[in-house]
Structure 1
Amino acid sequence: MAQVNTCLKLIFTIFNVFFAIVGGVIIALALLSQVVTHVDGELEGRTAGLIVLYTVGAVTMVIAILGAYGAHRENRVCLIVFLVCMVIGSLMMLRAGIPAVSARPKLERVLREKFQQLLPLDTATQDVRNMADRLQGQLHCCGLFSYRDWEDEIPASCECDQMEQMEGKCQSVSYREVLMQDTKSVYIKTCFPIILHYLLMFSNIMIGVVFTLAVLALLGMALSSAMIHQLRHPNRAVVLMTVPAIFTTGPPKYQELHNPPGY
């Protein structure tokens, strides 16, 4: 015999279906971010952020399945585990989201200071030079803040082809090679604004996911608490979706005046 209000069970099931869809969307966003920010080099915090997104998406789907099963079977243990997960999840999301929002405006300044420590690029470590070289080749940019970041050793990854020169994406710069002056056609765009754009986009995705999950966790706490309460008190009259007695209609007037046979 069903112990939980049918309407409440339906709402909770729909919530868990939506919760599972959100988990799938988070995994899809992680895949999209991985493709968009792929530069054959390690961007700041990229791998850690992707791991967090994949983990959160998978855990969200598992918890949603647990909640849907508990609602369908009216299993109190599953619902209690779901409630505990919602409480922990909401606290974790708020703990991660609030500092992330406060730190976002400082991201550009921190990243700029860190990149400026790598200059000039021609005297940086081989790993930094290789990563900068790959970034320039894939993002079609030259230098972090200017082509002068390479001083007189501008690499081939900064050079444009004829098609890009015709499209106005290049500039001619002069540099010293051995004992003579020479010119190169290099990209006008620098790499720092492009890297910053991708990192801000990734940060916005993370913040949106965190606060969306926090709101859903609070809603899940309320619904699962209501179901657990009804399972603990199965004999209590259900108030939802019932018609008050004062609005019930009595028998028709003609039945009250009708006399049975024999009178």
Structure 2
Amino acid sequence: MIDFAKMKTCELSLIKYLLFGFNLVFAISGIVIIIVGALTLSEVGQFQHFMEGRILAPPVVLIVVGAIVFLVASLGCYGAIRESYYMLIAFAACLLVVFIIELAVGITAAVYHNEIDQSMKNVMDESLARYEKSDMDKNAWDKVQSELQCCGVSSPNDWNKTKRPLSCCEAPREGAPPPTEEGCNSAKVDESNILFSSGCFEKIKMKAENASRVLIGVGIGIALIEVIGILLACWMALSIKNRS
């Protein structure tokens, strides 16, 4: 004769350890999310002078989500060990909320992608026009042009109304004379003054897009883990309820 009570106990034990193991992995993934978000923010944030809050928001949200994931995973581990029906339901509900937040952030980023690009370009145009009047804009432009080896917003021609800064040029090899203002603002390109030909907007945009791809990849991976967690938690909660 089949012992259904014993089968239910075995089923509950199996789900319990599955869920506990899952939450350990989930807690580690929360730490990974925080690290990825922080690295992405560090990578893109160094050019925050030219970016609106909307561009920097996704990595910040990811860091917050990572912290929440770690706390929720701890709740799931405790609920699984205690075999608490209400804690498991709370765990599943928290995972669902986090999943919805991630989905909303992803959809918003996709919808406003082109608008954000145009907004960043406008900010850069306005900042370039203030180069000689504002130390903050001057330092920001010198930094971005030197680090990304670019010049102007779209091209070096953006500096037509303003004298081109030395950060637009580089000495091509060791021992060559440093660039001069005359050489950097000359149409002539020679061995001592090499003008960066690429615009900075495309280079910053490329960095932001690369960061977005990393965030999207991590977000999709975590979303799949969250769905599995919700299913396991609901399964265990149902098993506990049936046993009771």
**TM-score normalized by structure 1?**
0.71
Question: For 1:39 and 1:130, how far apart are their aligned partners in 2?
Answer: 12
Shift of 1:82: 0.4
Aligned residues of 1:96 and 1:210 also touching (Cα < 8 A): no
Which residue is 1:154 aligned to? 164
Shift of 1:175: 4.2
Aligned residues of 1:3 and 1:231 also touching (Cα < 8 A): no
Q: Which has the higher strand share?
A: 1
Question: For 2:110 and 2:175, how far apart are their aligned partners in 1?
Answer: 41
Question: For 2:56 and 2:118, how far apart are their aligned partners in 1?
Answer: 21
Shift of 1:159: 2.4
Check if 1:9 corresponds to 2:19: no
Q: Summarize the Cα distance change of 1:231–1:47 in structure 2 as closer, same or farther, 3 Å threshold.
A: same
Which residue is 2:3 aligned to? none
Shift of 1:142: 1.6
Residue-pair matches, total: 224
Shift of 1:144: 1.6
Which residue is 2:231 aligned to? 222
Q: Summarize the Cα distance change of 1:129–1:138 in structure 2 as closer, same or farther, 3 Å threshold.
A: same
Shift of 1:195: 0.2
- Which moves more between the two structures, 22-31 or 56-65? 22-31
Question: For 2:232 and 2:145, how far apart are their aligned partners in 1?
Answer: 51
Q: Which has the higher helix share?
A: 2
RMSD over aligned Cα, in angstroms? 3.1
- Deviation track 1:162-186 (CA, whole Å, cap 9, x = no partner) reads 42898xxxxx65449xxxxxx9542
Q: Summarize the Cα distance change of 1:95–1:47 in structure 2 as closer, same or farther, 3 Å threshold.
A: closer
Shift of 1:107: 4.5
SS in structure 1 opposite 2:195? strand
Aligned residues of 1:143 and 1:191 also touching (Cα < 8 A): yes
Question: For 2:26 and 2:133, how far apart are their aligned partners in 1?
Answer: 47
Aligned residues of 1:173 and 1:186 also touching (Cα < 8 A): yes
Question: For 1:105 and 1:205, how far apart are their aligned partners in 2?
Answer: 19
Which residue is 2:33 aligned to? 26
Counterpart mapping for 1:81-160 below 5 A: 81-104=90-113, 107-118=116-127, 120=129, 122=131, 125-151=134-160, 152-160=162-170
Shift of 1:38: 4.9
Counterpart mapping for 1:168-187 below 5 A: 174-175=185-186, 184-187=193-196
Which of these two proteins has the greater Rg computed from alpha carbons?
A: 1
Residue identity in the other structure for 2:17: L
- Which moves more between the two structures, 13-22 or 121-130? 121-130
Aligned residues of 1:3 and 1:230 also touching (Cα < 8 A): no
Residue identity in the other structure for 2:94: C
**TM-score normalized by structure 2?**
0.76
